Structure 1
């Protein structure tokens, strides 16, 4: 699933308000090779994702749930479980701990799988054909995000693009991106894969 969901202005406002305070921006030249690549890490569950939990030999405890706006799912027997911001492995360990109060079978096997990705969203703003918030069910790079937004327009400074990334709540970092060098394959390492919540700003 992908498409424009909101305007760019609303998207930037949403990023600031979701942090709970006025955002702080830091400009640092990037070491592109060391930037976080979500493809190389276990998926982080987010609001709107669909997850499937199986408890081996205990079908009544197995369930499929949608992560609610508060980051919580509700399971049989144990009730609410906070899952947003956690990996499937972390959720599985939490469930093992919670279920151990009711299930004494230490051989019980619990699996947690993300069956529907709906929380991977990012903003493309500035001088592009269709600015807005986009969603995808697969990870996309800076150049792919720009393509989804219809590409830079005639007013764009494509050698001065910024990838705005939140490192911690309320603290955003500006990563310089030269789209011309990506397109020419001169500096392909700048074509970073986006994290959920990233903003690509085209001046």
Structure 2
């Protein structure tokens, strides 16, 4: 016959095991849809503009039209004389063509325009890092570089995998850190908690 104390301990242990078993499911439910990193789009060869990107536009021979501009919340760049020009989703070359067409329609004769991205939109990192927040994206940035910029992992962090959401997507990608993974402008990196 089991004593009341031992029976209570056995029930407590069973309850604790049930809670631990339910943790991964609860966490997955909280995080939203998670897909394998193999489905994660590779870093594109050509960069597409997004909200918050800062551009240097050079209209040759027209210093009053040239300058630094930002892709605004409505997805456009506001240019002198011609107003808003859609920029989100375009490459720098495609935006050059759009600006050239607009300026050639009654404003300038044979405009020549160059567009350069000089400051990419930031990425965000949250979860088990020392300083969660938004950070400036730089070329060649990887997940480990993003963690380092945020002050490194907390003692509770799962250092073997992170969850990555690309800009404009709703699903998180589970990325194992057996190799360093590139960060793109606008990404959201979530460092999860490890379970003992």
| Same fold at TM > 0.5 | yes
Deviations 1:122-145 (A, max 9, x none): 22x222222233223444101111
- Consecutive unaligned residues of structure 2, counting only runs of 5 or more, are 1-30
Does the aligned pair in 1 maintain the 2:167–2:188 contact within 8 Å? no
How many Å apart are 1:103 and its aligned residue? Answer: 4.7
Aligned with 2:46: secondary structure?
coil
Separation in structure 2 between the aligned mates of residue 121 and residue 52 of structure 1, nearest angstrom? 21
Per the normalisation by structure 1, the TM-score is 0.66
- Consecutive unaligned residues of structure 1, counting only runs of 5 or more, are 1-22, 182-187
Of 100, 103, 106, 1:99 maps to: 103
1:68 matched to 2:93? The reply is no
1:47 matched to 2:55? The reply is no
How many Å apart are 1:97 and its aligned residue? Answer: 1.7
Deviations 1:97-129 (A, max 9, x none): 2122115634x32111123x1513222x22222
Give the aligned partner of residue 38 of structure 2: 31
Please give the residue correspondences for 1:72-83 in structure 2 after superposition, counting only pairs within 5 Å: 72-83=76-87
Deviations 1:123-171 (A, max 9, x none): 2x22222223322344410111111122222222222x223224754x3
Give the aligned partner of residue 111 of structure 1: 114
Separation in structure 1 between the aligned mates of residue 156 and residue 42 of structure 2, nearest angstrom? 30
Give the aligned partner of residue 173 of structure 1: 172
Aligned with 1:31: secondary structure?
helix
Give the aligned partner of residue 147 of structure 1: 148
Aligned CA distance change for structure 1 residues 91 and 133 (closer, same or farther; 3 Å): same
Larger relative contact order (CA 8 Å, sep ≥ 6): 1
Give the aligned partner of residue 191 of structure 2: 201
Aligned residues: 162
